[in-house]
């Protein structure tokens, strides 16, 4: 089987839509017939609970993989959704930062774990809101970064640091890492501010902003409390349709950059 396409969903700001995008992009790719593995790489474990998995009592998580105690296959759960598997996270994942502070090969733990893990077309990594060891592990393991930015006044603030980190990783441990695209999230089409932010993001990242923007949509915000991707919660709402369109754009872009 061909190597999976590995996408790290990254932005060191919290609340910009990383987890929402990781869950819903994974779900839509899976619905389209791709075999998808979603790796929850944030100690908050929101991608885990957002897919309806109870974090209480989970004994095997991505932390075991990062500690080199278990292979990815041993911590992979199947979900209620066809073609979609999950590697869960719990708050203990926060320990990795300290534990691995001086460990050998600490930056490539996830990359090493993914190598040779067959059977997936796409691996989506939901990153924590920091430029931490975990985030860097995610970007070293990935072929692409997908960068969600929230359509708000401070959207571009702090992104310089993230782009510098991507550059450093390209110069060092992952020369082929690419920015797949910038995704504008929580766009409120009724406000001119939202539109201005969208235009500004496009100016800042020429050719990189996805045509699809994710609208602010209450169904998207409700779905995680039901443990469901929005497409399962309310298939026809605006948010579900936007993520479906995004997933097609992602597949197209991946195809273009690989050929
Ligand atoms: N398009 C959207 N419309 C409405 N609410 C959203 C949307 N995207 C995300 N949210 C909500 O915003 C909050 C932050 O999103 P989340 O994906 O958890 O961000 P991050 O993972 O970057 O911290 C969550 O409560 C989520 O449900
Ligand atoms: Mg999150």
Query: 180-202 burial, b for 16+ CB within 10 Å, e for fewer?
Result: bbbbbbbbeeeeeebeebbeebe
pTM of the model: 0.97
How far, in Å, from the CA of 259 to the mean position of ligand 2?
A: 32
The CB of 12 under 6 Å from ligand 1? The reply is no
DSSP at 208: T
The CB of 50 under 6 Å from ligand 1? The reply is no
User: Which residue's C-alpha comes closest to atom 10 of ligand 1?
Assistant: 221
CA distance 34 to 11: 25
Task: Report the CATH number that the domain containing residue 174 is assigned in CATH.
Answer: 3.40.50.300
* pLDDT of the residue at 116: 86
Look up the domain containing 80 and give its range. Answer: 5-258
Residue ranges for the chain with pLDDT beneath 50: none
User: Which atom of ligand 1 is found nearest the CA of 222?
Assistant: 27
CA distance 84 to 77: 9
As for how many domains the chain has, the answer is: 1
* pLDDT of the residue at 155: 86
The CB of 143 under 6 Å from ligand 1? The reply is no
CA distance 193 to 2: 43
* pLDDT of the residue at 1: 60
Reference 123, options 209, 208, 168, 62; nearest CA is 62
């Amino acid at each position: 089987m061909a190597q999976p396409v590995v996408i790290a969903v990254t932005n060191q700001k919290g609340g910009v839509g990383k987890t929402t995008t990781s869950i819903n992009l994974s779900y839509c790719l899976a619905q389209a017939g791709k075999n998808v593995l979603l790796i929850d790489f944030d100690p908050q474990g929101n991608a885990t609970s957002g897919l309806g998995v109870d974090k209480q009592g989970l004994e095997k998580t991505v932390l075991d993989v990062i500690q080199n105690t278990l292979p990815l296959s041993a911590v992979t759960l199947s979900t209620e959704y066809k073609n979609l598997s999950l590697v869960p996270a719990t708050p203990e994942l926060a320990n990795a930062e300290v534990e691995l502070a001086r460990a050998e090969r600490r930056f490539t733990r996830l990359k090493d774990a993914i190598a040779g893990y067959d059977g997936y077309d796409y691996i989506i990594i939901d990153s924590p809101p920091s430029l931490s060891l975990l985030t860097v592990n995610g970007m070293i393991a990935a072929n692409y970064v997908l960068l969600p930015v929230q359509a708000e006044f401070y959207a571009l603030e702090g992104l310089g640091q993230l782009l510098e980190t991507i550059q450093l990783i390209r110069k060092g441990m992952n020369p082929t890492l690419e920015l797949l695209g910038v995704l504008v999230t929580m766009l409120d089409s009724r406000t001119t501010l939202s539109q201005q932010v969208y235009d500004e993001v496009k100016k800042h990242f020429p050719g990189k902003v996805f045509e699809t923007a994710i609208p602010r949509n209450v169904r998207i915000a409700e779905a995680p409390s039901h443990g469901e991707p929005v497409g399962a919660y309310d298939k026809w709402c605006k948010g579900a349709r936007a993520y479906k369109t995004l997933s097609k754009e992602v597949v197209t872009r991946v195809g273009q950059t690989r050929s």
